[in-house]
Amino acid sequence: MAETTNPVLAQLGWRPFFSEQVTPEQRGSCQPVRVMSVHRGRVTVSGEGIEDSISSKLPHGDGAEKRPTVGDWLLIDRETRDLVHILDRASLFKRPAPGDQRRVQLIAANVDTLFIVTSCDQDFNVARLERYLVLAGEVGVRAVVVLTKADLSSDADALVEAARALQADLQVELVNGRDPSSADKLARFCGFGQTVALVGSSGVGKSTLVNTLTGSTNIETQPVREDDGKGRHTTTVRQMHRLAPGLDGGGWLVDTPGMRELQMSEVAAGVTEVFDDVAAITLDCKFANCTHADEPECAIRAAMADGRLDPARVDRWRKLAEEDAVNSGAAALRRSRADKGRDRRR
């Protein structure tokens, strides 16, 4: 379609993966736009000659994943600007909705790189980092761990090494969120048309980092509470920000509210990728359905006994795998019920 070479769309992240989905009929009647932010019942979109807020309702949409989220590419009617179609996503971050495992909450779509932000204080948590790494691995997105507030740690370098040990070839960057020259370490991930997403707990410096990377002060920042070191939510809406022009041409950054709960669901491949050392050893167990509890000739228990595997890492792997199995089963049941409901309505 002609828009594939349009510089406005290219800067927004338009590429052949999306243009090849557009049918000849849609080329004349529809216009591609990207979702900049999501609000109740509406989305803010941007495209060639358009910046607008439109209804997020599809004519025949059913289910959370059939609704647009930040980063999505949409086709809208050129005349009415009604939403016609959500293009297939190159990547989609989602999680079970906090407090309601029956619902799915979409986080961001069509992300190229995930910045997992944590601070060098009591927020640094290996198990939480692994959860984010699993999400990135499941959807095939490059992950970069970004450590902030190095001045709060007596040995920030040790935290860098602890993060790097979580996954082979994992990129880890130690930055000062307020210093543009320090944040420039992230520039190579923020090229023209690229989309990066920031995830992490509240109070780790995400909003400060957003302001530095975008060259603005539009995002409010707040200090963490002194009693427990936990942050207050300063970002309440998932939205895309234009990166500063100096950052390799300027891509896009998706800021997300802090996540206090991150349940695993339908991420078996991601768990295997992050815990590839553990997964490889399970292949040597005598029984294919070994639970690694008390079965004879369990390779996992043997590896822990001789020091090849860290028991704490194995425990984290087991917890994530079991959590994923339970939530994935619930997700499959939810889809089955939704399908039956649609069949009854036909």
Output the known binding site for Zn(2+): 285, 290, 292, 298
Burial classification of residue 306, based on how many CB atoms lie within 10 Å of its CB (0-12 exposed, 13-18 middle, 19 or more buried)? exposed
Closest C-alpha among 305, 294, 306, 303 to residue 275: 303
Residue ranges of the binding site for GTP: 148-151, 200-208
Neighbours of 297 (CB within 10 A): 11
Alpha-carbon dihedral angle through residues 282, 288, 289, 294, given to the nearest 10 degrees: -60
> What value, to the nearest 5°, has the Cα angle with vertex 106 and ends 103 and 109?
155
Task: Check if the beta carbon of residue 346 is closer than 8 Å to that of residue 339.
Answer: no
Compute CA distances 137 → 93, 104, 140, 329, whole Å: 11, 19, 5, 20
CB atoms within 10 A of CB 345: 7
Residues forming the annotated binding site? 148-151, 200-208, 285, 290, 292, 298
Determine contact, residues 84/75, Cβ cutoff 8 Å: yes
Number of Cβ atoms within 10 Å of the Cβ of 78: 12
